[in-house]
Amino acid sequence: MIVKLRVNVMIKRVFQYIILFLTITMYASSHAGATTIPPAEHHPNTETTSSTKKIAYLTFDDGPNKYTTQILNILKEKNGKATFFVIGGKSSTL
């Protein structure tokens, strides 16, 4: 009888912790602030290319990282263009 009572108390306590965890998680996720990044200036596409001209489109994902500055310097030196996809948590390092 005592063992059964202890098991019931332990099960009840586990459920209480699960409910507490879920409550805290739901509260935290509903109050998490999103960082607003201002939109970039709109630049209409006015460039045209010939069908014989070779073009490469460069994209860099999951940045910025330790190589971003070096990549930007090379692009500037070569008058190159690229698209960078930034991870939201790293946007403040730009």
Query: What does the pLDDT look like over 40-77, one tens digit per residue?
Result: 777 677 666 667 777 788 888 877 888 888 999 999 99
Quote the CA–CA distance of 89 and 81 in Å, as a whole number. Answer: 24
DSSP single-letter state for residue 31:
T
Q: Which phi-psi region, left, alpha or beta, contains residue 33 (left: φ > 0; alpha: ψ -120 to 50)? A: beta
User: In this predicted structure, what is the pLDDT of residue 65?
Assistant: 83
Return the domain boundaries, the chain.
1-32, 54-94
User: In this predicted structure, what is the pLDDT of residue 70?
Assistant: 92
Q: Going by C-beta distance under 8 Å and a sequence separation of 6 or more, which residues neighbour residue 94? A: 64, 86
Q: Is the pTM of this model over 0.75?
A: no
Q: Which two tokens stand for residue 30?
A: 């509903």
Quote the CA–CA distance of 61 and 65 in Å, as a whole number. Answer: 10
User: In this predicted structure, what is the pLDDT of residue 93?
Assistant: 66
